[in-house]
Structure 1
């Protein structure tokens, strides 16, 4: 009797435990969850480095593939490609494709939106092709599935999936999955191209600002420091009147520090932080003393207008520009001066020395020429540049594109 009671109690306990467990999701929900993860990884791909590594791995797992390769830029006679590979791949195989086998690859320029196996596209002779026998077979590839993506910006990408000789061929379900994700890859690739364009533009402008010896510090809407450029880091590292303590910009002089903090708060405040295209953004400036006795640093605070759809509080809201009047800019090359103004080598050397603040006599001495010779060169420079005075020449050179070279 006691045994029966114990058995009944155990069954009741097991029944309660089973009732407390969540029901297993139906198979179609598992399928949707997996597809949702894959699509999410595709749209997160442009922010990865290398891009789409996670999405390619998920696609490889779902298709039971040996490799998934996304060629963002197929190799050509003009240069190497840009390929994202998942699966066991040796660099020597990638190099051999980019240097040689790409030209023998018959599996290219596929109709957009369609997915093909190599046999479907080329026929039984595929296995007798040079490309298969000399490149794919030695690396253990038997089955190949592919699709190409084209955009209106002229981008051509190739998506290739492989299986080894021991695996089954790709079936209709595999092709259906690849066909389903192609439009999402295309949109994500277009986003990547746009982000790449903006990053190239940002790098170009950042390099130009550095060459102009202009330090820049950006803050978000909460006053948190976001970024400093090379020249700003150089100035701050000297700790001569101004430096960084954590995320705080510190200034030696109490009064100058209070003035700067007031300017920063005002630029960050909502009332003086306009939307793009509205009122002009706030701009204020201050000179910061340096205990070393060197010339004061110039600081300019500029509010950055919000875009019409801006929402992130971690975007740059204020830019602080630093200028060291005693910084020595890199000397432009004489060749650049010669090409820009049509000068001879000696004329270009003299022009650059004058922009450094040297007098004609000092420049002649440094060039190891007589003063009359230097004067002759100067008259020739005036004739070629269209100026009539030395100060005008210096202004012309300083305001030219030489500082951007």
Structure 2
């Protein structure tokens, strides 16, 4: 079984997919290999329970999709099982995850997929090929003759699963011609699996959406130039956001030694360690609003780091080793915004000269200092400032600084 990626749909690529994800049956058992027959309805409660366990494992670990499909294939006595994530089209090859007992790769191109008789099924309704076409029509179809028959596919059980986000996923199980057709008991067994497969897909989508949102929020925090260092129950560093990683790499007042966050100077370090110990032993203090802050001196002579230590509320689902217990927030009190001039122009319709002046003012310079830095006359700077006020709708320099820090600087910063 091969693993492939599909760049336009990286968040939902399951563990194992065929070389060309536009095909419904890309992996083959040994031609002519018999498939055991038997009523799927005879599955014991214990086996069915184990099967559900496999199904509900996959949202948490996408590498289990292939194993899940293979378990379903065995239970339904098939030679292939496939999950169609996207059926594909003219501009999209689609994505299909397939499993079979033999992992031999076939031709990577299937130009017959558009001819599949299973397009447009009623969602959540289990059908077989006999429900779709008379046998004579199925045998005469190009899709069967040119693709399915050479790959030892004759009997097909199919269902389209409608998920909560409006998507439709195809689930297919196939058997060779020498095997028995899918029985009423097989269809009933698949029907009982439908709600569980749907829940697993919905969980998969929800988990990955949450991960994307968490990534977005983390990116936003980094854009705001707030460093976040997460410590575990032993006070050891387990995670840093990009801003914190950059601060720690400088070793200018703060550093990591043996997985412990330390301050360079002894007095600062004693206070930092005390705040961490208190957060670890009295997490309720943070909930009561008693979070403490401190400044950490920097050997470089630049302005001190602003540091806040806060306990992370314990979560019954995060017990065990290395659970997040303390967050240390670090702010560069001297950090300046360096938004791109073009972005400032686009947001407020400023000229290049006006944008340059506004950025210098946002970085804390006075009008006179900004004029000197830009090598322009003070009267010219005042004229630019009047125009900036008019275009941005503000009347004071402090308001200008605020809107630049909250818009241009935020949008223009990069990790």
1:250 counterpart (262, 265, 271):
262
1:218 counterpart (230, 253, 258):
230
1:293 counterpart (294, 301, 314):
301
Report how far residue 199 of structure 1 moved: 1.3
Mapping for residues 351-370 of structure 1, pairs under 5 Å: 351-357=358-364, 359-362=369-372, 364-365=374-375
Q: Are 1:49 and 2:62 matched, yes or no?
A: yes
84-93 or 195-204, which moves further after superposition?
Answer: 84-93
2:283–2:312 Cα contact (<8 Å) kept: no
Q: Partners in 2 of 1:310 and 1:337 — Cα distance?
A: 45
2:255 counterpart SS class: strand
TM-score by length of 1: 0.76
Partner of residue 16, structure 1: none
Partner of residue 82, structure 2: 69
Partner of residue 131, structure 2: 120
Q: Partners in 2 of 1:327 and 1:318 — Cα distance?
A: 25
2:70–2:81 Cα contact (<8 Å) kept: yes
Q: Are 1:36 and 2:38 matched, yes or no?
A: no
User: What is the aligned length?
Assistant: 365
Partner of residue 269, structure 1: 281
Larger RCO of the pair (alpha carbons < 8 Å, separation 6+)? 2
The superposition leaves residues 142-163 of structure 1 with CA deviations (integer Å, 9 ceiling, x where unpaired) of: 3322112224442322211233
Q: Partners in 1 of 2:123 and 2:350 — Cα distance?
A: 55
Partner of residue 187, structure 1: 199
2:96 counterpart (78, 83, 90):
83
Report how far residue 141 of structure 1 moved: 3.4
1:46 counterpart SS class: coil
Partner of residue 33, structure 2: none
> 5+ residue gaps in structure 2?
1-40
396 and 156 in structure 1: CA distance in 2 versus 1, 3 angstrom threshold: same
Partner of residue 210, structure 2: 198
1:216–1:321 Cα contact (<8 Å) kept: yes
311-320 or 259-268, which moves further after superposition?
Answer: 311-320
Mapping for residues 243-392 of structure 1, pairs under 5 Å: 243-270=255-282, 272=284, 279-306=287-314, 312=319, 315-327=323-335, 331-357=338-364, 359-362=369-372, 364-365=374-375, 375-392=382-399
Partner of residue 12, structure 2: none
Q: Partners in 2 of 1:325 and 1:90 — Cα distance?
A: 59
The superposition leaves residues 293-343 of structure 1 with CA deviations (integer Å, 9 ceiling, x where unpaired) of: 333222111223356x766356533221122334565x3333432332232
> 5+ residue gaps in structure 1?
1-27
1:110 counterpart (117, 121, 127):
121
1:231 counterpart SS class: helix
Report how far residue 200 of structure 1 moved: 1.9
Q: Partners in 2 of 1:386 and 1:333 — Cα distance?
A: 21
Partner of residue 30, structure 2: none
Q: Partners in 1 of 2:318 and 2:285 — Cα distance?
A: 13
Report how far residue 230 of structure 1 moved: 1.6
1:51–1:84 Cα contact (<8 Å) kept: no
Q: Partners in 2 of 1:74 and 1:326 — Cα distance?
A: 53
2:187 counterpart (175, 178, 181):
175
2:306 counterpart SS class: strand
39-48 or 57-66, which moves further after superposition?
Answer: 57-66
Partner of residue 231, structure 1: 243
TM-score by length of 2: 0.74
Q: Partners in 2 of 1:332 and 1:76 — Cα distance?
A: 42
Q: Partners in 2 of 1:127 and 1:362 — Cα distance?
A: 85
